[in-house]
Structure 1
Amino acid sequence: MSGGAHTWVGTAHGPVHAGTGDQYVQVQEKPDPWSFRRVADDHLAALRDTFVPPPGFAAARGRLRTTRTVFLDGTPGSGRSTTAAVLLAGLGAYRELLPGEEGEPGLREPDVVSRGDLLLLDLSAAGRDRWDALHPDLPALRASVREREAHLVVVVPHGEWLAGALRPFRAEIGRPDELGVLRRHLEVSEVPFSRFPVPAFSEFLGTDRTRSMAQLADFTDLVKAASEADTAGTLAAWADTALRSFRGRRTEVAAQVAGLGEAGQRALLLTVALLHGEHGDVVHAQAAELLRALGGPVDERPLLQREDLAERLSAVGARIGADGCVRFLVPGQDTEVREHFWDTMPEVRGSLGRWAAGLPEPLKPEAAAHLAAAHLRTGHPDALHELAASWCAKGAAEGAAHLLARGLRDPAHGRETRRWLYERTRARPSPTESLVLAQVCGNVLSLTHPFQALVRLHHLSRNEGGTRHGVAALRELVATDPRVLPQLVRRVLRDEHPADPRVFLDACPAEAVTEGAAEEVLACWSLVFGALPPPAWQPYAARWLHHAAASPLREVLLAVLVGAAAPLPRGRGALFAALYACARDAERAAPGDPARAAAVSEALLARLTAAQRAARTERGAVV
């Protein structure tokens, strides 16, 4: 938990967001590198497992369930953002509102709330100007939430005033019990403990008890690392070690690096920090690659005259464990070493990026996370985006995707990454970049900001050339999140982009159509009929008819096709004939019950006949 903003997400196809810092998850095996949604699920599971309800939580939860709206306040560091996430996650998958960004509706716009939505508006870090600008829109947002039977949690800047009509929905939380938070994290991390108090815990918390919930999570992670490095130790000893690491070992690490006179030793030290916990063979091979990337000398001594890996690791304060993996003896030293080299040797940054691009695919996500954290920590999201672009140029798609995913989840620089994605999807990306943009927008951004993902994937679908990554991701988004379909069809109808008829066919299957969206979908099909020849649209119409055969919306779907063709007087007869021929072909290839497929063809013919008669009657009336 923290008082800042982390990002956790919920179900595999629902948007969720919560608060900052890292949430640590213990899993039995590494997830697939592209499994952004599985990782999201793990984050939310860890959030729920480690959450300790603060004072006022029960009242806030009751207010949310009875009034559908809560304006949540609390002191910074009390876990406001995480509490808001847990409040909403208890009801299902939710999404975050970011008014003012590309693709995000304003708080007064009708699209901002869909029926049954769970919404988070986190303004915990908003300055006075932003709060004053958004505060007048909150009553309208609250009214939309009530009308559409949605739920809303707004995290307000601490101590800010609320308009009189909003005050009944205000809830304030206190700080949860710090020792309780430590105990919960230790339990989840499976760190054995026998008793409290532990002197190092008291020293860490201090008398003023002002540690943020994120700091508590980081500290207990260091306790966990200490317990793994010294399995025979005690909780008190692990806590002492963790406290030293938490306070920082910058001076010790600087002295350690200064004492390593050989380039090969420093390359090994940095490799262990970047690939901490990887197998010894991997560390050995990649240390040599890093030395080469940094221009270090080649060791020309005979093999048997060189130090073995265990000896070399000992010289840099690391060792090979019983599992064959390499770790530092001191918990947290990997972070300290990475930050030391990054901050004091800026000339190595470019070489590190090029070295990491050449890593085997299973290693790229970890290296990408470290490089992204370094760029973001030092306030250079632009350099992170340039690195991602360079990795795309080298074909390192998975690593580039992980760089950008980390940028999206960063509370301080996520907006810049979202903006960069917007600009890149409007350009003409390479095939590799198209794949990366589709993955990041479709599997990361869509979880928390589906409307922004829609806008970016729509641009990408128009501009990606011969690849189909963007339109495939757009189709998946439309299929899994029904809220975005109305906005997509409105964009197609509004923009009149030459690529949009084909984008619509690819991204809007019949399965995604609701009765409420039928009128606008009909208008899109009318664009298709007017812009494309029958061979281009008939395969899509056939799949549309296949779905209609088993759908309770059969008549609505048939009305869409016929209604889209009817207003086109030029060649209307030929168009009707092409539709009916398509239905007969679809009938022969239809899955399932042949009688039901034949019934669809007959129903379509009846509608076409009725439309033709109506057109003749209209012409007769005009004459």
Structure 2
Amino acid sequence: MTDAPGPGAGGIRDYYDVEFHFHGNEPPPDVMSSRNTPPRQVADEQLSRLQRRFARPMGINDAYDTLERHNIVFLYGTPGNGRTTAARVLLRELPRGSGVYHELTPDADDQSAEPLTPELIGEGDRMLLDLSDAEEDVWTQCHNRFPGFHKILLDKRSFLAVVLPPAHADRLSPDFAAYRRVVNRPDDLEVIARHLRLRGVDPGDSGQAPKELTDYLSDKPPMRELAYLAGIIVDARRTAKPEESFADWCRQAIAAAEEEEDDFVPPLHNGPQRALLLSVAMLHGAPADLVHRAAAILRRSLRIAGDDRPLLEHESLTERLREVGASRNDEARVHFDKLRHDHAVRRFFWRNMPDLRRPLRDWVEQVLALPQFPEEGRKDLVVRLAALCALTEDADRLAEPARDWALRYDDPARLRAAAEWLGWGVRNEDERTSRHFRHAIYTWAIRPAEPNLRRVLVDVCVNVMAFTHPEQAVVRLHHLARREPLDEGSGKNAARHVLLRLVEMDTRLRRYLLFRLALAPPRRNGRQQAVDAWLFLGLLTMPSRPEHALLQSPSARLWLLMCWSDVLRSFSSRSWLPHLQRWITTTDAADDPELVHLALDVLVDAAAENYPALRQIYLTARKSLSAEKTERLLSRIEEAQHRRPPLRADPGKGIRT
């Protein structure tokens, strides 16, 4: 036995003498923001909205019939036709059973589970495996597992929709070629109309669409661009004159979209005017006083000479805004008079003035710390800067500014900005960008991190990744929990608490965390062993009694056995006895006799080579179980004792089992 730091108030403690406490006995997690809605509920709401705006392409009903009859379907088609959206909607349209919807994401960062792991599939689950951007090795790995996985789908009455990579769509094995279905392009006008109706805009008769719109659609832009155009049409309608029609809104929206893409050149060349122009573009919709102060900061940082005249001779803010094509609304917020002009201005300066990029990032850092900055404005500013960086920087470097802010600053505003930056990347529609951000978060999570960076990572995992990639959120929170300080104060153990709260909402995530605690990844030191034991016993204290759901799965029973064995072997009875008592008490209250037997068998098998633990299990059971159940438990203990290996001599430690 060795001494090592443990999660108790005593600081340096014997790992075999650690007491575990949960929830109410410790301070709440120190997380910058918090959501009350369970991630699964949010995911279901997002799927519902997606279904309402989905324009059904020709042949989609055939794909649904294939999925419903055979529990699997392989979708392929031209990139940009909405293959992944179609897969999500098909899974949403299936009859709702006891299972849940979740997306299987090949995650090369952590090899604790393959994307097609049968043991992690629940009864009636509806799953999406998006391989549209998969590399050769990932495709081969998944393809080789399809036959065995399909059998699991049939046995568990679960469903899987696979989006095939274009390069390998014709390489599907003959056993599954019959389940391959093409996703055709939906009617473009119907796509636009559905997006508009969901945003409260009635497009009227789509057959009367203006020529500008039909010409725009003739180029067959990707579905995401149609959704973006619909958003501009909504903005055009919001600022339209009473006499303007749907056709006018479309013309204005298309002109604005084209201005963003063309080589827009601002007509202004004066330094102070350009500083104000860029400030308005970056802070579009912000209070006028904030824009004024931010423009002054930008002028000073770029060494642009100010107005040397007396203050009363300066131009008013209203006049200066008018010179750059902007004005204040009734709420004193600044907007350009021209639709989506802010997008064009930002892109022009970023693309055409490379030397301005670093000073602009420094300026954003200063502006974020201004006390009068509204919270929603900070998020907009961060997202706009991140989108600009994505235009010119490599995807694998995009996450670095967030880490830089978290390490250099200590104020809440810039720490929240760092979290917003990472959240933008994780949510990004471009899967390659999202994957790079998730990889960066994983890389930082597996290393010791400064407190502020750790706070930011926990925040992003629980408030963003838990909704988009919940299993990957569990992986990263688990690594963060293993590397947290072991003292119990000041919210320094946020990842442990957040992780348990996250999995408490979802039986599948509880099963996934149990899988990780039992099998992967390997522990590197005693502290990580203590944290894993803390998390395992925390799973057992949840009011939803997860052991009941987990005991029904043979694989989960094995994981429970392995975790119990580790706890009983590595820690003193003072640490695990209260949890053992609760396990037995909860087991005795179960209505299903088979469940009772399974629960007791897990304990006995976990302590099969640990006589003191077996004795404690029996003594505890005698106080809680009926005579019949106690007799059966004693019989199982005797069986376990007969299977014990013989005593052997150890020169260094004497006789041991």
Which residue does the alignment assign to 1:480? 505
The C-alpha deviation readout for 1:531-552, integer Å capped at 9, x for no partner, is 2334444565566567657655
CA contact (8 A) 1:72 1:153 kept: yes
Which residue does the alignment assign to 2:565? 526
Alpha-carbon offset, residue 230 of structure 1: 2.3
The C-alpha deviation readout for 1:342-390, integer Å capped at 9, x for no partner, is 2223233431452355254443322222222223333433443221112
Unpaired segments ≥5 residues, structure 1: 1-31, 585-597
- Is residue 199 from structure 1 mapped to residue 211 from structure 2 by the alignment? yes
Alpha-carbon offset, residue 463 of structure 1: 0.7
CA distance 1:122–1:289, shift in 2 (3 Å): same
CA distance 1:279–1:606, shift in 2 (3 Å): farther
CA contact (8 A) 1:478 1:512 kept: no
Which residue of the other structure, out of 502, 517, 520, is the alignment partner of 2:531? Answer: 502
User: SS at the partner of 1:184?
Assistant: helix
User: SS at the partner of 1:119?
Assistant: strand
Query: Aligned equivalents of 1:370 and 1:384: distance in 2?
Result: 13
Within 5 Å, give how 1:90-489 maps onto structure 2. Answer: 90-91=93-94, 93-99=100-106, 101-103=108-110, 105-106=113-114, 109-111=117-119, 113-126=121-134, 131=139, 134-158=142-166, 160-195=170-205, 196-206=208-218, 209-232=219-242, 233-249=244-260, 253-256=264-267, 259-263=268-272, 265-292=273-300, 294=302, 303-343=311-351, 344=353, 345-355=356-366, 357-358=368-369, 360=373, 361-393=375-407, 394-395=409-410, 396-410=414-428, 411-466=431-486, 467-489=492-514
CA contact (8 A) 2:471 2:509 kept: yes
CA contact (8 A) 1:437 1:470 kept: no
Alpha-carbon offset, residue 603 of structure 1: 9.9
Query: Aligned equivalents of 1:128 and 1:450: distance in 2?
Result: 25
CA distance 1:554–1:179, shift in 2 (3 Å): same
Query: Aligned equivalents of 1:610 and 1:291: distance in 2?
Result: 83
The C-alpha deviation readout for 1:29-78, integer Å capped at 9, x for no partner, is xxx97549587666545423321111111221122112111111222322
Query: Aligned equivalents of 1:324 and 1:44: distance in 2?
Result: 37
CA contact (8 A) 2:481 2:496 kept: yes
- Give the fraction of aligned pairs with identical amino acids, expressed as a percent: 31
CA contact (8 A) 1:492 1:524 kept: yes
CA distance 1:191–1:123, shift in 2 (3 Å): same
Which residue does the alignment assign to 1:82? 85
Within 5 Å, give how 1:44-63 maps onto structure 2. Answer: 44-63=47-66
Query: Aligned equivalents of 2:240 and 2:325: distance in 1?
Result: 14
User: SS at the partner of 1:53?
Assistant: coil
Report the TM-score, using the length of structure 1 for normalisation: 0.79
CA distance 1:551–1:348, shift in 2 (3 Å): farther
Structure 1: which amino acid aligns with 2:223?
Answer: M
CA distance 1:177–1:605, shift in 2 (3 Å): same
Which residue does the alignment assign to 2:10? none
CA contact (8 A) 1:107 1:141 kept: no
- Is residue 568 from structure 1 mapped to residue 576 from structure 2 by the alignment? no
Alpha-carbon offset, residue 203 of structure 1: 2.2
CA distance 1:539–1:293, shift in 2 (3 Å): farther
The C-alpha deviation readout for 1:126-185, integer Å capped at 9, x for no partner, is 466765564444333333322332111112234634322112212223221111222222
Alpha-carbon offset, residue 108 of structure 1: 5.9
The C-alpha deviation readout for 1:551-573, integer Å capped at 9, x for no partner, is 55666556655664563235865
Query: Aligned equivalents of 2:110 and 2:262: distance in 1?
Result: 47
CA distance 1:321–1:53, shift in 2 (3 Å): same
User: SS at the partner of 2:170?
Assistant: coil
Alpha-carbon offset, residue 299 of structure 1: 5.9
Alpha-carbon offset, residue 601 of structure 1: 10
Moved more, 315-324 or 148-157: 315-324
Alpha-carbon offset, residue 327 of structure 1: 1.9
CA distance 1:602–1:461, shift in 2 (3 Å): farther
CA distance 1:601–1:266, shift in 2 (3 Å): farther
Query: Aligned equivalents of 1:471 and 1:422: distance in 2?
Result: 16
Which residue does the alignment assign to 1:594? none
Alpha-carbon offset, residue 293 of structure 1: 5.2
Alpha-carbon offset, residue 284 of structure 1: 3.5
C-alpha RMSD of matched pairs (Å): 3.7
CA contact (8 A) 2:445 2:476 kept: yes
- The number of aligned residues is 568
CA contact (8 A) 2:106 2:138 kept: no
Moved more, 135-144 or 315-324: 135-144
Unpaired segments ≥5 residues, structure 2: 1-31, 487-491, 648-657
CA contact (8 A) 1:509 1:544 kept: no
Query: Aligned equivalents of 2:590 and 2:54: distance in 1?
Result: 43
Report the TM-score, using the length of structure 2 for normalisation: 0.75
Query: Aligned equivalents of 1:546 and 1:268: distance in 2?
Result: 69
CA contact (8 A) 2:515 2:559 kept: yes
Which residue of the other structure, out of 512, 521, 524, is the alignment partner of 2:546? Answer: 512
The C-alpha deviation readout for 1:574-602, integer Å capped at 9, x for no partner, is x569x84xx99xxxxxxxxxxxxx85799
Query: Aligned equivalents of 1:231 and 1:611: distance in 2?
Result: 82
CA contact (8 A) 2:101 2:126 kept: yes
Which residue does the alignment assign to 2:650? none
Structure 2: which amino acid aligns with 1:101?
Answer: A
CA distance 1:615–1:547, shift in 2 (3 Å): closer
Structure 2: which amino acid aligns with 1:219?
Answer: L
Alpha-carbon offset, residue 427 of structure 1: 0.7
Query: Aligned equivalents of 1:481 and 1:420: distance in 2?
Result: 26
Query: Aligned equivalents of 1:138 and 1:559: distance in 2?
Result: 34
User: SS at the partner of 1:75?
Assistant: coil
Alpha-carbon offset, residue 307 of structure 1: 3.1
CA contact (8 A) 1:357 1:391 kept: no
CA distance 1:47–1:530, shift in 2 (3 Å): same
Query: Aligned equivalents of 1:148 and 1:41: distance in 2?
Result: 21
User: SS at the partner of 1:327?
Assistant: strand
CA contact (8 A) 1:103 1:451 kept: no
The C-alpha deviation readout for 1:159-214, integer Å capped at 9, x for no partner, is 634322112212223221111222222222223545523222122123xx522212
Query: Aligned equivalents of 2:284 and 2:45: distance in 1?
Result: 21
CA distance 1:61–1:197, shift in 2 (3 Å): same
Query: Aligned equivalents of 1:318 and 1:600: distance in 2?
Result: 77
Query: Aligned equivalents of 1:39 and 1:302: distance in 2?
Result: 56
Structure 2: which amino acid aligns with 1:434?
Answer: R
CA contact (8 A) 1:290 1:355 kept: no
Query: Aligned equivalents of 1:242 and 1:348: distance in 2?
Result: 32
Structure 2: which amino acid aligns with 1:269?
Answer: L
CA distance 1:371–1:543, shift in 2 (3 Å): farther
CA contact (8 A) 1:78 1:175 kept: yes
CA contact (8 A) 1:95 1:447 kept: no
